[in-house]
């Protein structure tokens, strides 16, 4: 693994597949022109609309999302993470699936979100992800790359479950993906601190692409796509507008932090 630049893309996805993919392509191009070799798209990058629309269009969205990711990876010669899109499940619901592809357009890893966001928020918004999403049954994978390091997958609400990231670090993860569409209400208080906690306790880099702004109806996301280093320092923050956060992933920095704070070696339980 060598030092390289990674990009956490920030989007305002809407209930329009073509528009979202056009925006994603522009932001991937922007990231690559800034030197990124690993580009990460947020959860719901290809579609963010009403739940019934998502399920009804799932087959089309899934096919278009996979084709898009493979095409963009080959065109720009970078590894790309598609942070989450609906894939039809046999139950009539969908999986929320993240997909990692390399510069040849080859699938490297996939993960179906296991923790589903069923929450009543004080701002009056109610979320029932489980009404339309089938939870994944498998622990998230770690993809081992000589060029990019050991890459651990997760999606959004997973960030509140520390045991998932401990599993990934035990499997050798050095970089943790947390693509998200974090709500505006919870994001202002919890987003950054949770990401920093996951980075610090696992001495891993965090790459967290995000949704931002108003999507449809009352659905609004927090933004602040970030890259966090293993010490918990914020290397880049995309703010609250669509854009790109670019940060350096350094094996030297990773080794330095793990030497200075060898907490992974001190686990008792």
Tell me the domains of the chain and their CATH numbers: 4-266 (3.60.110.10)
Quick check: helix, strand or coil at residue 259? helix
Q: Which of 113, 129, 134, 204 is catalytic?
A: 113
Place of tokens 């992800």: 129
Residue 137 DSSP class: -
pTM: 0.97
Q: How far apart are CA 72 and CA 15, in angstroms?
A: 21
Which one of the listed residues 43, 129, 134, 174 is annotated catalytic? 43
Q: What gap in Å lies between CA 74 and CA 2, rounded to an integer?
A: 21
**What is the pLDDT at residue 179?**
98
The single residue of 23, 156, 174, 204 carrying the catalytic annotation is: 156
What does each of the 269 residues of the chain score in pLDDT, given as a tens digit?
A: 899 999 999 999 999 999 999 999 999 999 999 999 999 999 999 999 999 999 999 999 999 999 999 999 999 999 999 999 999 999 999 999 999 999 999 999 999 999 999 999 888 888 999 999 999 999 999 999 999 999 999 999 999 999 999 999 999 999 999 999 999 999 999 999 999 999 999 999 999 999 999 999 889 999 999 999 999 999 999 999 999 999 999 999 999 999 999 999 999 98
Gap between the Cα atoms of 230 and 224, Å rounded = 18
- For 223-253, b/e burial (b = at least 16 CB within 10 A) is bbbbbbbbebebbbbbebebbbbbbebbeeb
DSSP 149-200: EEEE---GGGGG-HHHHHHHHHTT-SEEE--B--BHHHHHHHHHHHHHHHHH
156 catalytic per annotation: yes
| CA-wise closest residue to 21 among 89, 78, 70 | 70
Tell me which residue of 129, 124, 28 sits closest to 78, measured CA to CA: 28
Q: How far is CA 236 from CA 41, 68, 224, in A?
A: 15, 26, 9
């Amino acid at each position: 693994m060598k030092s390289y630049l990674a990009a956490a893309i920030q989007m305002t996805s809407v209930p329009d597949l073509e528009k979202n993919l056009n925006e994603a392509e522009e932001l991937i191009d922007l990231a690559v022109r800034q030197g990124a070799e690993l580009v990460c798209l947020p959860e719901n990058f290809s579609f963010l609309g009403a739940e019934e629309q998502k399920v009804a269009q799932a087959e089309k969205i899934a096919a278009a999302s996979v084709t898009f990711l493979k095409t963009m990876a080959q065109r720009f010669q970078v590894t790309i993470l598609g942070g989450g899109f609906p894939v039809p499940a046999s139950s009539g619901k969908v999986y929320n699936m993240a997909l990692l592809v390399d510069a040849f357009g080859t699938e490297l890893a996939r993960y179906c979100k296991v923790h589903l966001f069923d929450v009543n928020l004080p701002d009056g918004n109610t979320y029932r992800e489980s009404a339309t999403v089938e939870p994944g049954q498998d622990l998230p994978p770690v993809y081992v790359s000589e060029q990019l390091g050991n890459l651990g997958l997760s999606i959004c609400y997973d960030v509140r479950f520390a045991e998932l990231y401990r599993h990934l670090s035990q499997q050798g993860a050095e970089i943790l993906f947390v693509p998200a569409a974090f709500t505006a209400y919870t994001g202002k208080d919890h987003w950054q601190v949770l990401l920093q906690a996951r980075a610090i306790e696992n001495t891993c880099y965090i790459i967290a692409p995000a949704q931002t702004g108003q999507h449809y109806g009352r659905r609004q996301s927090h933004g602040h796509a970030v890259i966090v280093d293993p010490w918990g320092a914020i290397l880049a923050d995309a703010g609250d507008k669509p854009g790109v956060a670019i940060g350096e992933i350094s094996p030297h920095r990773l080794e330095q932090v793990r030497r200075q704070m060898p907490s992974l070696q001190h686990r008792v339980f």
